[in-house]
Amino acid sequence: MNFADPIILQMLWNRLVFITDQADLALGRTAFSPIVRENHDFVTVLMDADGNALAQCTLAIPVFISTLPMAVKTYFLKAHPPHTLKPGDVLATNNSRIGTGHPPDLVMVTPIFHQGTIVAYAGCIAHLPDVGGRPQSPDSVDVFEEGIRLPILKLFREGVANQDIFDIIASSSRLPEEVLGDINSMVAANDVMRREVLAFLREYELNGLGDLAQAIYTRSESHMRGAIRRLPNGVYSAEMVLDGIDADITLRAAVHVHDDSIHVDYEGTSPQVEYGINVAPHYRIAHSLYALKCLLDPVSPNNEGCARPCTDSAPEGSILNPRATAAGAARNLVGHTIPSLIFRALADVLPELVQADSGGAPIWGINCTGTRQDGTPYSSIQNFHGGQGGRYQLDGNDTLSFPSNCKVTPVEIYERSVPVVIERKELIADSGGPGRFRGGLAQRGVIRNISGAPMNIYLNTEHVRHPCFGLLGGKPGAPGRVELGNTPVPTKGRVILADRQALVIETPGGGGWGEPAERDRSLVERDLHDGLVTQAGARRDYGYG
């Protein structure tokens, strides 16, 4: 079969992506936690016989880019070389170093045998509801506090479940039924890929996927390299400073563009910390690749070829390459800002493509916990997002999740699960960073405790001391703010809210793009009319009026 033919290749490639989407549907339909399903916090990937990514389901969030192939090539196939695998075997681990940097994500891999040899691997990762330890908290000192840690195991041997492992998982989790159910869904999803790949091979009379895989990689890789080649050679650097937990964290990136390849070097980045916000290498790499793909090739389906021209590195012991046992349950608080950092570095070479820093990176999570007057405990997280950064020709969208993709729980639903009244949820005028294209607006949320008793609130916030930066002359957005009765409070960790007391949360505004003086006057007037900027703001930021 001629895989160079632009019709044959398109047809077969579509089919491989479709196979991962079918597995995605099988997994998503059966996952227990609908919030995981709605936010698509899982991935299905089809890999070739060497563990390279052939196709990935269409809708996965950025954290999953390249994670599975890295896990398979670097870890799985070393622990379990192909000649030790049999049809019906299913491998799995939740070691955060091997997976995505936090233990709830279980990584599962199933070899696909055809005519006695492995032709491909089906893989999936899903966020399990609970694996013990402190759930998603930055308070852990090391990885051992974050939950159970399974090495790469054979969950099934030749189709027979290894019951001991299931028992260990069940006894380590607060939600054993749900976790075991989700694991079964993952097994089923991999089996959908196995079944569909075999049907595909029969239908097209192929013995393996090798030549097709090479055709896909070559086409993607040359497209990506072509996009890089249009950038001038050079080293483009940027840094950003984050609030961190008890001290500033500096992230530095030097983006080396050399002919048709890119290397991102995070030299100069702050050292790792004794909190669960360290970013394991796979999580960092996924976000580096995500940023580059947004800029250079936003449309083609993810596969090995897109990743080949792009590499990154970070100094050992830094917060972006911590030692293997460093805590990282809340690694998103730092990792989500990587795309903004790369956009900043490349702003001068790709001014029309980059987006200024976003207040949705990271997500602000507000966890209200306590005990109702009738003695029943409650605990539920409400998320808040800041504004998106400004973009060439477009203002940032207001209140947008980026780079992850999280829907917010409706107020009417949240108030059912937690004894609070959310009194306001509104845009903040003047919070969008001024620019030729301004940042998206942030929001103000007011949460009042009506439980009749004090309430513990756990805050995960960022950009309170260091606002979202603008690009190309654009100004920073308004910083975030958390207040309790008009007094600023610590923005990470626990706050105690007395009965009838209210917590005021202001997320960060997105950074602006381009000089505010160059903003079209009619846009300033529109914003004034709509109340998105105030008279005072228009005068101060745009010299208007």
Partner 1 sequence: MKLAFDTGGTFTDLALLDDAGVVHTHKVLSTPDDPSRAVLQGIDELLDMRQSHGRDVAAIFGATTVVTNAVLERRGARTALVTTDGFQDILRIRTESRYDLYDLKLQFSEPLVARTDCFGAIERVTVDGDVLVPLDEAGVRAIAAAIKARGIASVAVCLLHGYRYTEHEERIGALLREQLPGVAVSLSSAVCPEIREYDRASTTAANAYTRPLMSGHVAQLEGELARRGTGQLLWMTSSGGVVPGVTASELPVRMIESGPAAGVVAAGDYARRSGNGDLLSFDMGGTTAKLCMLLDGRPRIAPELEVAHAARFRRGSGLPLKIQSVQMIEIGSGGGSIAHAGPLGMLAVGPRSAGAAPGPACYGLGGAEPTVTDVDLILGYLHEDSFLGGTFRLDRAAAQTALERLARELQLAPERCAQGVHDLVNDAMARAAIMHAMDGGVDPSRLSMIAFGGAGPVHAYGVARKIGVRRVVCPLGAGVNSALGLLAAPVAVDVAASAPVSLNQLDTGMLERIRARLVADAAPALAAARLSVDDVTYTFSADMRHIGQGYEITIGLPELSTPLDLFTSAVRVAFRSTYLQLYGREVEGTGIEVITWRLRASGAIGTGGSIRTERCDRNALRGRRPVYFEEARAYVSTPVYDHYALEPGQEIAGPAIVEQKESTAVIGPSGHATLDGQRNLVIALT
Residues 490-529 binding partner 1 (CB under 8 A) are: 529
Going from the C-alpha of 34 to that of each of 26, 45, 193, 348, the distances in angstroms are: 14, 21, 22, 42
22: amino acid identity, one letter: Q
Minimum CB distance to partner 1 smaller for 326 or for 342: 342
Which among 420, 339, 409 is positioned nearest to 65, based on CA atoms? 339
Number of residues that bind partner 1 (CB under 8 A): 82
> Which window, 90-98, 152-160, 176-184, 460-468, contacts partner 1 (CB under 8 A)?
176-184
Cβ neighbours, 10 Å, residue 108: 23
Interface with partner 1 (CB under 8 A), residue from 117, 171, 184, 535: 184
Euclidean distance between CA atoms 31 and 127, whole angstroms: 9
| Residues 481 and 488 sit within 8 Å (Cβ to Cβ) | yes
- Collapsed DSSP state (helix, strand, coil) of residue 380: strand
Least distance CB 449 / partner 1 (angstroms):
13
Interface with partner 1 (CB under 8 A), residue from 41, 48, 297, 506: 297
Site for partner 1 in 205-224 (CB under 8 A): 219-220, 223
488 binds partner 1 (CB under 8 A): no
Give CA 536 to chain center in angstroms: 37
Least distance CB 47 / partner 1 (angstroms):
20
Which among 502, 449, 401 is positioned nearest to 39, based on CA atoms? 401
Minimum CB distance to partner 1 smaller for 446 or for 484: 446
Least distance CB 473 / partner 1 (angstroms):
19
443 binds partner 1 (CB under 8 A): yes
Site for partner 1 in 338-357 (CB under 8 A): 353-355
Which among 439, 252, 260, 460 is positioned nearest to 366, based on CA atoms? 460
Which among 544, 294, 298, 293 is positioned nearest to 438, based on CA atoms? 544
294 binds partner 1 (CB under 8 A): yes
Minimum CB distance to partner 1 smaller for 17 or for 249: 17
421 binds partner 1 (CB under 8 A): yes
Least distance CB 364 / partner 1 (angstroms):
11
Euclidean distance between CA atoms 327 and 97, whole angstroms: 10
**Spatial CB neighbours of 26, under 8 Å, sequence gap ≥ 6:** 185, 188, 189, 192
323 binds partner 1 (CB under 8 A): no
Cβ neighbours, 10 Å, residue 54: 27
Site string for partner 1, 370-399 (x = CB under 8 A): -------------xxx-----x-xx--xxx
The phi and psi torsions of 262 (rounded to 5 degrees) equal -130, 135
Interface with partner 1 (CB under 8 A), residue from 25, 153, 349, 523: 25
Interface with partner 1 (CB under 8 A), residue from 407, 465, 494, 539: 407
> Which window, 31-39, 78-86, 120-128, 157-165, contacts partner 1 (CB under 8 A)?
31-39
Site for partner 1 in 56-95 (CB under 8 A): 59, 61-62
Going from the C-alpha of 179 to that of each of 10, 36, 196, the distances in angstroms are: 38, 13, 26
Least distance CB 406 / partner 1 (angstroms):
6
Minimum CB distance to partner 1 smaller for 206 or for 421: 421
